[in-house]
Amino acid sequence: MPSKREVNSAFKQDVLAGLSMTPKRLSSRYFYDDQGSRLFQEIMTLPEYYLTGCETEIFTEQADAIVDGFLAAGTDIDVVELGAGDGSKTAILLKHLLERDASVKYSPIDISKEAIDELAENFRTKLPQLTIEPYVGDYFAILDSLQKAADRRKIILFLGSNIGNFSADATKEFLASLRAVMNEDDLLFIGFDLQKDPRVIHQAYDDAAGVTARFNLNLLDRINRELGGNFVKENFLHYANYRPIEGSARSYLISRQKQTVEVAGQRFEFDRWEPVFMEISQKYTLPVIENFAREAGFRIAKNFFDSREYYCDSLWRSEPR
Ligand SMILES: C[S@@+](CC[C@H](N)C(=O)[O-])C[C@H]1O[C@@H](n2cnc3c(N)ncnc32)[C@H](O)[C@@H]1O
């Protein structure tokens, strides 16, 4: 596991490199400090942010079929969740697994200590019979250790369309690295947000109450606090759009004025209306999902959709190599 100092130095390197690029960019993987995790939990309750409701509906309405898929090859399983957040949706599935007398060990992994602490406390009261091994850290860093824990079948969960934050190339690389640590009978369960009315998607990233704006701007606070920055948040605005041809929602922070900002002793010039690229949230079609699965060496066992077909949780089996 990387030390706190290593994590901080990766954060510093990425921020300084990103602010030196043209156009400037900051990585959304750094959104989730404690305050960022709290703000994301607030986003999940917003009427515009349909993703959480869709995935909750799928898990609630189709829990039996999903759990059938999970237990098809045996009832002793390690459930490993990448970027678990508050785990509230996962709790629905875990409860059903326990009701089916499955022997389950649940390992939620998240970069945010606050999210993991809260999840662990909630689960101990909600599902006291569950064996839980929470882990605070970067999911890219723990992939190798997953292979070593190969004595039981594992089911890897990657929910909330978290995969949408990766570029197409990064998605392929990530899926291939997951495939590399999976054994026969292991499963991968991924949430994909589907393409739909562009106005619905746009609003999900530009909510009326401005919580998504605060979520993006919070990264400037984090940079100020952890890297000795002097960003003035009021000098930036949050802007989100959806590109229907590429199927991607993008968010930016826009400099409201010409300004100079200092981070870790380096100075960065911003022009008036200059954008800083913050996050991509890719939306998918079924052929694209099928293609990702095939190219990375998986076969789709079953797709689960919500009633509006806004969202798809896809259960993948690894193809023999
Ligand atoms: C979009 S949220 C999804 C949360 C949850 N899976 C859900 O469906 O509601 C992304 C979560 O992944 C975590 N995360 C992002 N990048 C990460 C990384 N590289 N390693 C571990 N966790 C990460 C964040 O802290 C956050 O809790």
Q: Domain spans of the chain?
A: 4-47+210-282, 62-194+284-318
Say what the alpha-carbon torsion angle 4, 135, 138, 294 is, to the nearest 10 degrees. 170
CA 88 to mean position of chain CA atoms:
14
Domain spanning 62-194+284-318: CATH superfamily: Vaccinia Virus protein VP39 (3.40.50.150)
Q: Is 29 in the pocket of ligand 1 (CB under 6 A)?
A: yes
* Closest C-alpha among 105, 115, 155, 166 to residue 136: 115
Annotate the chain with three-state secondary structure.
CCCHHHHHHHHHHHHHHHHHCCCEECCHHHCCCHHHHHHHHHHCCCCCCHHHHHHHHHHHHCHHHHHHHHHCCCCEEEEEEECCCCCHHHHHHHHHHHHCCCEEEEEEEECCHHHHHHHHHHHHHHCCCCEECCEECCHHHHHHHHHHCCCCEEEEEECCCHHHHCCHHHHHHHHHHHHHCCCCCCEEEEEEEECCCHHHHHHHCCCCCCHHHHHHHHHHHHHHHHHCCCCCHHHEEEEEEEECCCCEEEEEEEECCCEEEEECCEEEEECCCCEEEEEEEECECHHHHHHHHHHHCEEEEEEEECCCCCEEEEEEEECCC
* CB atoms near residue 312 (< 10 Å): 23
Placement of tokens 């389950």 in the chain? 104
Q: Which of 106-120, 194-208, 264-278 has the lowest mean pLDDT?
A: 106-120
Q: Is 138 in the pocket of ligand 1 (CB under 6 A)?
A: yes
Would the pTM count as exceeding 0.85?
yes
Nearest CA owner, ligand 1 atom 1: 162
DSSP-derived pairing of the beta strands 248-255 and 275-282: antiparallel
The pLDDT tens digits of the residues spanning 24-73 come to 999 998 999 889 999 999 999 999 999 999 999 999 999 999 999 999 98
Which mutation among 6, 111, 119, 178 tests ligand 1's pocket best, with the greatest number of atoms within 8 A of CB? Answer: 111
Q: Round to whole Å and give the CA distance between 179 and 289.
A: 15
Which mutation among 143, 162, 312 tests ligand 1's pocket best, with the greatest number of atoms within 8 A of CB? Answer: 162
Question: How crowded is the C-beta side of 197, counted as CA atoms within 13 Å?
Answer: 8
Instruction: State the average pLDDT for the chain.
Output: 94
Q: Mean pLDDT, to the nearest integer, of 251-268?
A: 98
Inter-CA distances, 35 with 40, 170, 272, 303, Å: 9, 27, 28, 34
Inter-CA distances, 137 with 108, 116, 222, 252, 254, Å: 10, 10, 18, 26, 30
Spacing, Cα 306 to ligand 1 middle (Å): 22
User: With 80 as the cut, is the pLDDT of residue 150 above it?
Assistant: no
Q: Round to whole Å and give the CA distance between 217 and 26.
A: 11
Spacing, Cα 35 to ligand 1 middle (Å): 14
The pLDDT tens digits of the residues spanning 99-108 come to 999 999 999 9
Which mutation among 45, 55, 110 tests ligand 1's pocket best, with the greatest number of atoms within 8 A of CB? Answer: 110
Q: Round to whole Å and give the CA distance between 104 and 256.
A: 51
The pLDDT of residue 1: 47
The pLDDT of residue 137: 87
User: With 60 as the cut, is the pLDDT of residue 7 above it?
Assistant: no
How would residue 184 be classed by pLDDT, with cut points 50, 70 and 90?
confident
The pLDDT tens digits of the residues spanning 110-147 come to 988 888 999 999 999 999 999 999 999 888 888 877 77
